[in-house]
Amino acid sequence: MLIPRFNYHRPSTIKEACEIKAEFKNKAMFLAGGTDIIVNLKRGVISPERLISLNGIEELRLHSVDGRNGQTRIASCGTVSGLIREKFMLPYSALITGMESLGSPLIRNMATIGGNLATARPAADISPSLIAYNAKVVLTSASGKREVLMDDFFLGPGKTALNDDEILSEIVLDNPSSYAGSAYIKLGTRKALEISLVNVAAFLTLEKPDGPITGARIVMGAVGPVPLRARSAESILVGEKPGAALFAEAGKAAASKDSSPIDDFRGSAEYRRDMVKILTERALKKAVNDIR
Amino acid sequence: MKILINVTVNQKKYELAVEPNMTLADMIREELKLTGTKKGCGLGECGACTVLLDGKPVSSCLVLAIEADNRDVVTIEGVETEKGLHPIQQAFVEKGAIQCGFCTPGMVLSAKALLDENPHPDEQDIRKAISGNLCRCTGYQKIVEAVQSVSARK
C-alpha cells in the first residue's frame, strides 16, 4: 500500500510548527504518532499537501505537575504507553484503563494522547475519561494560546474546536479531590486492536466516605457523533447516597434519555442502548470502589 | 524530493536518502534488503512488520522512514548473536512455535522487548505483549510456551 506524495516539515519548536500551519492552513496536517494518519493516507481518505512532524519538538513531550494550582499538565505528544507508566497518572484510573485498551502494544508505543484527541473518532478510548474528569486542552497558535473544556472540544466525527492554525499542545487535568473515584469500561468483541462498540467513563465525587454524591460526570462513547455526557443520569445521582438501585436507575436514564446510538456493522442501535444501561451501572460501581 | 537521514539498524550506521512517503518497513526491505521484516496488512493491524524502534516494538508500516532519523532500529536480523540464535529464537524452534513463519519475526521482537524489560513475565504478561501480533497457524499456545521457557531459563 503506497502513501501519496507530500512535502515534509520537521519544526523543532511549537512556534515554528504553528507558523508553518498558519501558512498552509488546511493543506497541511500535523503528524504525531501517525497510527491514524498513515492508515488514512494509505487508504486514500486524506491527501494533505504537507505533513508537519511534531516529533522533533521537545516541549510537546514535557509533562508537568503543577502543585500550586493542583493540576497535572500532560504534553500532547506523550505516547500512550509512556503515559501509562507515569506516576502522576495514578489518580486517573479511568484514563489509564482507556489508554491500556487502545489498539495494541505496537500502536500504544507510537500513538500519542494529543493525536488520539485531535483525530476525534467517536469511539476513541481516551476522550470519555478526559471529559469525565472535566479536563481542558490548550490550543496554541503563533499568536497565543487558549484553553477549551473537553466538553466543548469535539464538534463531530473528525471535527474539533481546533482552528486551522492551532496545535493541541497540552491536556490539563485538575487533581481529584478527596473521596473521588473513576472508571472506564470498554465493550468490544476482542481484547486487542478493537474499536469500542460502546464505552462509558464515570467520575464520582462524594462529600464524605459514605456519601452523598456531590459530583457525577458520566460520558458515553460510540453512541453518538461525539462522546456524550449522560446528563439526566448525572442529575439522578447528585445528592444521593451511592448504591446499586440508584446506579441501576442512572443506567436506565443514560440509555433512554442521553444516548443516540446508530446501527452499523459492529452492532445495532438497540443493542448499544442496552449496553449503555449496563456499562453505566457497572462503571458507577467501579468508580465507587476506586474512591480514595 | 529525497531527504537524507542517519539511522542505526542492527547496530550499523546508515546514511540514506529517502522519499518522505516511504515507510520504515519499505526502507528496511527495499533499501537495506533486510527482508526478515514482513509486510502483512500495511495498516498496523497484524504486527508482521514489527521492529524495535529505540527498544520499543512498533509497526514499521506505520512509521515514516524519515521519522527514524537519528533513531535506533532493530530488525529480526539483529537479534541473532555471534554465538548463534538468540534464546528466544532457539525456544521458538524447540517448542515448535513456528509454522508458516510469517508472524515469527514480529513475535520474536515483541517477546524480546517484553523480556528485556521484564525477565520473568507471567502468561498474561506474555499474551498481552504479543496481542498486536497475529498468528493464523499455531493458535498462540506454543508461542506463549516458547517465551515462558526463556523466562524460566533466566
ipTM of the complex: 0.96
Q: Is A109 on the interface with B (CB under 8 A)?
A: yes
Largest CA distance in chain B: 50
Dihedral pair phi/psi, residue A159, rounded to 5°:
-115, 135
Evaluate whether residue A15 is within a structural domain.
yes
Query: Chain A residues with CB inside 8 Å of B110's CB?
Result: 105-106
Backbone region of residue A120 per phi and psi (left: phi > 0; alpha: psi in -120 to 50; beta: other values): left
Checking if the pLDDT of B33 tops 90, the result is: yes
Helix (H) or strand (E) holding A272: helix A269-289
Cα–Cα distances (Å) from A79 to A142, A195, A258, B53, B72, in that order, read 24, 19, 32, 13, 17
Domain count for chain A:
3
For residue B151, what pLDDT is reported?
Answer: 86
By CA distance, what is A37's nearest residue in B?
B62
Q: Considering CB atoms only, which of B57, B67, B133 is closest to A109? A: B57
Per the structure block, which three cell numbers stand in for B75? 530488525
Q: What is the CATH number of the domain that holds B109?
A: 1.10.150.120
Beta strand B72-74 with B50-53 is antiparallel
Domain count for chain B:
2
> Which percentage of chain B shows pLDDT scores above 90?
94
Look at B67 and A192 and tell me if their CB atoms are within 8 Å.
Answer: no
**Is the distance from CB of B57 to CB of B109 less than 8 angstroms?**
yes
Closest CA to B126 of B140, B139, B136, B137: B140
Residues A77 and A141 in one domain: yes
Query: Chain B residues with CB inside 8 Å of A55's CB?
Result: 67
Residues B92 and B73 in one domain: no
Helix (H) or strand (E) holding A30: strand A28-31
Residues B15 and B68 in one domain: yes
Domain, as residue range, for A107: 61-174
pLDDT tens track for B65-77: 999 999 999 999 9
Q: What mean pLDDT is reported for chain B?
A: 96
pLDDT tens track for B113-127: 999 999 999 999 999
Q: What is the CATH number of the domain that holds A36?
A: 3.30.43.10
Q: Considering CB atoms only, which of B44, B50, B110 is closest to A35? A: B44
| CB-count exposure of residue A68 (10 Å: 0-12, 13-18, 19+) | exposed
Residues A283 and A225 in one domain: yes
Dihedral pair phi/psi, residue A47, rounded to 5°:
-150, 70
Largest CA distance in chain A: 60
Residues A163 and A66 in one domain: yes
Evaluate whether residue A229 is within a structural domain.
yes
Residues A31 and A73 in one domain: no
Helix (H) or strand (E) holding B119: none
For residue A30, what pLDDT is reported?
Answer: 98
For residue A11, the distance in angstroms to the closest alpha carbon of chain B comes to: 12
Checking if the pLDDT of B40 tops 90, the result is: yes
Residues B15 and B73 in one domain: yes
Q: Which of these three, B29, B46, B78, is where a domain ends?
A: B78
Dihedral, B151, A108, A98, A90 alpha carbons, nearest 10: 70
Strand partners, A170: A75, A138
Exposure string of A1-30, with b = 16+ CB inside 10 Å and e = fewer, is eebeebebbbbeebebbbebbbebeeebbb
Closest CA to B79 of B71, B90, B70, B68: B90
The whole-angstrom separation of Cα B110 and Cα B130 is: 6
- Length of chain A in terms of residues written: 292
Evaluate whether residue A1 is within a structural domain.
no
Residues B73 and B7 in one domain: yes
Look at A39 and B67 and tell me if their CB atoms are within 8 Å.
Answer: no
Candidates B1, B21, B37, partner chain A, best to mutate (most A CBs within 10 A):
B21
Checking if the pLDDT of B7 tops 70, the result is: yes
For residue B154, what pLDDT is reported?
Answer: 64
For residue B99, the distance in angstroms to the closest alpha carbon of chain A comes to: 23
Per the structure block, which three cell numbers stand in for A94? 479511568
Residues B98 and B33 in one domain: no
**Omega cis (within 30) before A105:** no
Radius of gyration of chain B (CA): 15
Residues B25 and B49 in one domain: yes
pLDDT per residue, tens digit, chain A (292 aa), is: 899 999 999 999 999 999 999 999 999 999 999 999 999 999 999 999 999 999 999 999 999 999 899 999 999 999 999 999 999 999 999 999 999 999 999 999 999 999 999 999 998 999 999 999 999 999 999 999 999 999 999 999 999 999 999 999 999 999 988 999 999 999 988 888 888 889 999 999 999 988 899 999 999 999 999 999 999 999 999 999 999 999 999 999 999 999 989 898 888 999 999 999 999 999 999 999 999 7
According to DSSP, residue A44 is labeled T
Beta strand A228-229 with B3-9 is unpaired
Candidates A54, A104, A110, partner chain B, best to mutate (most B CBs within 10 A):
A104
The whole-angstrom separation of Cα A126 and Cα B112 is: 28
For residue A28, what pLDDT is reported?
Answer: 97
* Chain B residues touching chain A at CB-CB below 8 Å: 3, 19-23, 42-45, 47, 50, 53, 56-59, 61-64, 66-67, 110, 128-129, 131-133
For residue B82, what pLDDT is reported?
Answer: 87
For residue A210, what pLDDT is reported?
Answer: 85
Q: Is A6 on the interface with B (CB under 8 A)?
A: yes
Residues B8 and B59 in one domain: yes
**Is the distance from CB of B117 to CB of B54 less than 8 angstroms?**
no
Contacts of A184 (CB under 8 A, 6+ apart): A93, A94, A95, A97, A98, A101, A125, A128, A129, A199, A200, A201, A202, A283
Checking if the pLDDT of B138 tops 80, the result is: no
Residues A168 and A84 in one domain: yes
Per the structure block, which three cell numbers stand in for A265? 456493522
Domain, as residue range, for B22: 3-78
Residues B91 and B52 in one domain: no
pLDDT tens track for B42-55: 999 999 999 999 99
Query: Chain A residues with CB inside 8 Å of B66's CB?
Result: 8, 10, 53
Query: Chain B residues with CB inside 8 Å of A30's CB?
Result: none
AA letter at B51? V
Evaluate whether residue A2 is within a structural domain.
no
Q: Considering CB atoms only, which of A2, A35, A53 is closest to B67? A: A53
Chain position carrying cell 550499523: B12
Q: What is the CATH number of the domain that holds B20?
A: 3.10.20.30
Residues A70 and A156 in one domain: yes
Residues B111 and B53 in one domain: no
Candidates A7, A106, A191, partner chain B, best to mutate (most B CBs within 10 A):
A106
Look at B44 and A8 and tell me if their CB atoms are within 8 Å.
Answer: no
